[in-house]
Structure 1
Amino acid sequence: MEALKNKTKGINSSKPEEAQKSKQTNSNITRVKSFSNYGHLQSGLNRGDATSLKTFLNWIKDGFVVDENYNEQETNEKRKSLEAKIEDKKDDKQKVIAEKKVIEQVQIPNKNQDRTNLNNSIADIQNDLDNEMLETGFQSTNYYLYTGLTIVLAVYLIFFYASTIYSAFFRSAGLLVETSGDDLAMVIGSIFDMNGILNPSPNLIIVYLGSFLFFALGIIPHTIKGSYRTLKIAGFLLGTLIVDALLAYKIDKSIHEIKVMAGIGEENWDFWASENFYLVLAFGYLAYLVFGYMYQLMNEEKTKKNPKKIAQRNINLIREQIKEVNQMINKYEEQIVELQSKVEMLESRIGLLMKSLNDTMINPEVLSKSLNSFYIGWRQFLNGSSEIGAEKVECENIYKTFMEENFKTISSLN
C-alpha cells in the first residue's frame, strides 16, 4: 500500500498536470539540460513505474520535453515557411491536374468528335457520288468564257514576248533610223516591233522559242504541289518579275541609244524614270498574271465536269483535315504525359517538404537519441534498486515496443 502511495506521489510530483496543460496549450514546454539525468530523476520520483515511463516517452516524442537549447521561435518560423511552400506546391499541383482534366475531358473528346464528323462527311460524299447526286457546281458558260480568254491571252503572250525579245536583242538601230522616214520620233519611241516578228528571218527561231518559254512559265506555278507550295509559287513569280524587269530595262536602254544616235535624245538616262520601262512590265507581267489566273479558273471549271474528280478532291481535302486533327490529338496526348510528369514531380516535392516539416518540428534522429538517453537514465535508477525488479522487465518491454512502433529500430543503450 505504501508503495502504491509512493508511485502516486511520484507521478504527481513529475508535473503530469503541467505537461497535460502544455499539451493542450502548446505553449508550456519543459526544457532539460540532460535527458539522462532527467530520466533518472523521473524514474526515481515515479519508482520506475512502467506506465509513467510510457507517458514521458510520449511527452518527449510530442515535443513537450525538449533540450534546453531548443529555439521555439526559430522552429516556428521555419515551419511556417515550409507550410507556405507546401501550400504553393499543392496549388500548383491542382492547377496542373485541372489543366490535364480539361485536355482529357474536353479538348480530346472535341477533336475525336471532329474526326468522326469528317469521316462521316467522306462517307456522305461517296454516297452522293454512288447515287449520282453529287453537286459539282459546273457552269458551261463560265467554262467556255475562261477557255476563250485563256486562248486569247496565250496568243497575246506569245506575240508580246516575241516582240519584246526581238526589240531587246535583234532590232537594228541603224536600219531603224534609215527606214523610219518622217516618223522617226514615233518609230524610235515604239516599245514593240511587230514588223520584226512577222517578216521571215533566222532570228525569229530564237525569238519564238524564247516566247514559248515565257508562255510555259505562266503554266508552271499551277503545277507546283507539296509542302511550302505557296512559298514556292511566290518565289517563282518573283523570279519571273525580275526577268521581265530585265527585258524592260534592255528595251528602254535600246530606245535611249537609238534616240541618242538619231540626235533626239539626251545623254543622261535613268531607267526608273522612264515610262517605257513600266509600260513593258504592265503589258507583260500583268498579262502574265492574268493569264495564269484565267488558266486556273478554266482548269477548276473543267474539273467540275467530272464528279469523280470533284469527289476525290473534296475527300483529299477532308483527309488533310483529319490528319491535322490526329496531329492535334497526338499533341494533346503528349501534353497529358508531360502534365502527369509535373504532377508526380510536385507530389515528390510536396513529400520532401512534408519530411522537412516533420524534421523541423522534431528531428527523428535527435528525438531517438533523446529518448534513448532518457531511458538510459530511467534504467540506471531501476538497476540501482533491488526492490522493483518486476518493473525493470515491464519498462524494458514498453521501451522496446515504443521504439519499434515509432522508429522501427531500437536505439543502442550503450
Structure 2
Amino acid sequence: MVIKNKTNLMKLLKSIQNRMKPQNQKAAVQLEDTLNSINTLTKVERVKNFQNYALQKAGLNNGDATSLKTHLSCIKDGYVVDETYNENEHQTRKQQIVEKIELKQDEKEGVEGNKRNIESVEIPSSKEKIKDYDSEIQQTKLDLEANKINTGYQAIKHYTYMTLVVLLSVYLILFYASAIYASFFRNASALIELAGDDIALYLDSIFDIKGIFTPSYSLIIVYLGAFLFFAIGMIPHTMEGKYRKLKSGLAILGSLVVDALLAYKIDKGIHDLKVMAGIAEEDWNFLTSINFYLVLAFGFLAYLVWGYMFELMIKEKDKKNAHISAELLIKGLKKAIREERQHINTLETKVIELESQITILKSQIEHLKRDLDRAMLNPDLLSQSLTSFYMGWLQFLNGTTELNEKKEACTIAYETFMNTHFKTTPSFN
C-alpha cells in the first residue's frame, strides 16, 4: 500500500513539475528537490517533533505551498510517522482485523449460498411436486370416470388374508377362553388328584383346553370374557381422525397391560398349585418365570399378527372397489400436497432467518472495516501530527513579511487538505 501511494505521489509531482517549468523556474527547482527527497525515501522516516521537522522542511523549500501539500501527503500516507509508532504492532492489529473480515465474508457467502439454494432449488422443487400431485389427482378422477382405474386387487391375497384372520380369530377366542378358565375356574384339588405321577408336568400346563369344552355354567363367563379380550384387541384397528397413530399405540399398550395381568394371574395360579402339591417353594417372582412370558407370547404376539393380517385383508378388499381405491389414492396425494406446503412454509421461514443473518453479517463486516480503517489510519493522532507539522511550517512563514503571500497560499492548501481527508479544519483560536 505504501509503494502504491508513493508511486501515485511521484506521478502527481512529476506532472506538476512539468506544468510549472515554463512559468516558474524557481518553484520548479524547489519541487525537483522535494521530488528527489521523496524518491530516495526507501523506508518510513520517524520524527521526534513534527513542528521542528516542519520548520526544517519549510526552510529547505522556502515555505512553498506545493511542498507543504507534498509533505502533508507523506505524513498522511505513512512515510513520515511519530517515533513512538510501532510498525509490527500496527501490522499485527491490521492482519487480525483482515482475518476476521475474511471469516465473516466466508460465513456470509455460505449463508447466501444456502439462501440461494433454498430459493432457486428447494422451494421450486416442492412447488413442482405439488403441481405433479395435483395433475395426478385430476388424472385419477378422469380415469375413475372412464373406468380405467387399475386397483391392483389380487383375489388370492384377499382370500389368503381372510383365511388367516378367521383362523387366528378362532385361536384367540380359544386362547383367551382357556386363559380365563385356568385363571379363575380351575379346580386345584381335583387337578392335583388327577395329575398322578406326572404332577410336575401336568401342573406346568398354562392352558386348560379340556376345561373349556367340559359343559359348565362357568363357560358362559369364560367365553364372554374371551370375546371381551378379543374386542379389546380390535380397538386399535378402528381408530380414525386426528392422532390416529397415538390412539392406536395407546390401545395396543392397553392390550399388552391386560395380557400381562392375565399372564400374571395364570402363572401365580400355577405356582400356588405347585406349593399345594409340595413341589415348589413359597418364594416366587413372576419376572423370572417362563410361564409368564409364554402367556404373553401366545396371546399378545398372536394378537399383533392377527391385527397385521386384518389390516392387510381390509386394504386388499378396498382395492376391489375402484371408487374406494381412487379415494385412497387421492387422499394420499392430498396428504403429500399438505406436507409439501408445510415444507415450503418452513423453507420460507428459513429464508427470512437467513436474510436476517446476512444483514447481521454485513453490519459486522462494515464494523470490522471501520476498525481496519482506524487501525490503518488513526484519524485523531494523524490530524494532530498534520496540525503540528503545519504549525511548524507557519512558524517559518511568520519569520518575515515577505512570505505573507506564501503564508496565505499555504493556509488555503492546508485547509483544503484537511477538509478533503478529514472533513474538518482545526481552529487555532
Shorter-chain TM-score range? 0.7 to 0.9
Partner residue in 1 for 2:10: none
Once structures 1 and 2 are overlaid, which stretch shifts more, 283-292 or 163-172?
283-292
Partner residue in 1 for 2:3: none
Q: CA deviation at 1:219?
A: 1.0
Question: Cα gap change, 1:363/1:274 in structure 2, threshold over 3 Å: closer, same or farther?
Answer: closer
Q: Is the aligned partner of 1:354 residue 2:366? A: no
Partner residue in 2 for 1:223: 238
Q: TM-score, normalised by structure 1?
A: 0.82
Q: TM-score, normalised by structure 2?
A: 0.79
Among candidates 409, 419, 425, match of residue 404 of structure 1:
419
- Matches of residues 203-352 of structure 1 in structure 2 within 5 Å? 203-225=218-240, 233=248, 236-255=251-270, 257-258=272-273, 261=276, 263=277, 266-268=279-281, 280-352=295-367
1:54-103 per-residue CA deviation (whole Å, 9 max, x = no partner) reads 22222221122222222233323333333333333333333333333333
Q: What amino acid is aligned across from residue 268 of structure 1 in structure 2?
A: E
Runs (5+) with no aligned partner, structure 1: none
3-state SS of the aligned residue for 2:402?
coil
1:300-347 per-residue CA deviation (whole Å, 9 max, x = no partner) reads 122223323222222222233233333333333333333333333333
Question: Cα gap change, 1:316/1:260 in structure 2, threshold over 3 Å: closer, same or farther?
Answer: same
| Distance in 1 of aligned mates of 2:255 and 2:418 | 90
Question: Cα gap change, 1:7/1:182 in structure 2, threshold over 3 Å: closer, same or farther?
Answer: closer
| Distance in 2 of aligned mates of 1:35 and 1:163 | 111
Measured on the aligned residues, the alpha-carbon RMSD in Å equals 3.4
Question: Cα gap change, 1:210/1:374 in structure 2, threshold over 3 Å: closer, same or farther?
Answer: same
3-state SS of the aligned residue for 1:98?
helix
Among candidates 8, 20, 31, match of residue 46 of structure 2:
31
Q: CA deviation at 1:44?
A: 3.7
Among candidates 129, 153, 157, match of residue 114 of structure 1:
129
3-state SS of the aligned residue for 2:46?
strand
Do the aligned residues in 2 keep the contact of 1:166 with 1:197 (CA within 8 Å)? Answer: no
Question: Cα gap change, 1:139/1:183 in structure 2, threshold over 3 Å: closer, same or farther?
Answer: farther
Partner residue in 2 for 1:413: 428
Do the aligned residues in 2 keep the contact of 1:6 with 1:47 (CA within 8 Å)? Answer: no
3-state SS of the aligned residue for 1:413?
coil
| Distance in 2 of aligned mates of 1:366 and 1:318 | 71
Q: CA deviation at 1:169?
A: 0.6
Q: What amino acid is aligned across from residue 307 of structure 1 in structure 2?
A: A
Question: Cα gap change, 1:256/1:75 in structure 2, threshold over 3 Å: closer, same or farther?
Answer: closer
Q: What amino acid is aligned across from residue 36 of structure 2 in structure 1?
A: E
Corresponding pairs, count: 402
Partner residue in 2 for 1:17: 36
Q: CA deviation at 1:214?
A: 0.8
Among candidates 99, 103, 114, match of residue 99 of structure 1:
114
Q: CA deviation at 1:277?
A: 5.2
Runs (5+) with no aligned partner, structure 2: 1-23
Q: CA deviation at 1:281?
A: 4.2
Q: What amino acid is aligned across from residue 192 of structure 1 in structure 2?
A: D
Do the aligned residues in 1 keep the contact of 2:274 with 2:280 (CA within 8 Å)? Answer: no
